[in-house]
Amino acid sequence: MEAPKRIEPKGLADYLDVMSQAVFQSGMSWKVVEAKWPGTQEVFRGFDPKKLAVLSEPDIDAIASDTRIIRNRRKIEAIIGNGRRMLELEKGHGSFKNYLRSKGSFDELIKDLRKQFKFLGDMGAYRFLYVVGEDVPDYNTFCASHGIKAVADR
């Protein structure tokens, strides 16, 4: 398995896009998530947190019935909530990047990400931070320290 491609986030939508991939992947195959991602990006309005924050219950019902995405209502609601939380953290820290860099250590940041965002476990948080270009420990070291079985060929 290859390491995911890193990006330089241009705004909150990029952060939420990457985080949402980890949310949808939880309990699913990456291949399934990747195959549905173009439709998922469209359904979730490009992962723009401001556009998602104003969705009504009927809007969420429509998303939950759209066959272009993985239709797990709890994850759909988590992504919308995660977008709202990103907006709050950005406001409180001046930028989302400032929030990510406000923790004293990598493990503190992982712990806080899991507290702040739904459906984001240790491995999802690690992947998220890696993809958005934050400093992360070596993959095998991280896995060993968190009791996670490392995927070969990374």
pTM for the predicted model, two decimal places = 0.94
Neighbours of 15 (CB within 10 A): 26
Structure token pair of residue 37: 């991602």
Instruction: Give the distance, in angstroms, between the CA of residue 45 and the centroid of all CA atoms in the same chain.
Output: 15
DSSP state of 104: S
The residue length of the chain stands at 154
Total number of domains in the chain:
1
Identify the helix (H) or strand (E) that includes residue 98: helix 96-100
Is residue 60 included in any domain, yes or no?
yes
- For residue 131, being part of any structural domain is answered with yes
- Would you say residue 150 lies in a domain? no
d(CA 15, CA 8): 9
Percent of the chain with pLDDT over 90: 86
Task: Flag whether pLDDT at 153 surpasses 60.
Answer: no
d(CA 101, CA 135): 10
Domain presence at residue 65: yes
φ/ψ of 91, rounded to 5, equals -65, -40
Three-class SS state of 58? helix
Asked if the structure places residue 3 within a domain, the reply is no
The per-residue pLDDT for range 107-129, each reduced to its tens digit, is 999 999 999 999 999 999 999 99
Range of the domain at 49: 12-145
Kindly state whether residue 4 falls inside one of the protein's structural domains: no
Check residue 147 and give its pLDDT. Answer: 87
Domain holding 77: CATH number? 1.10.340.30
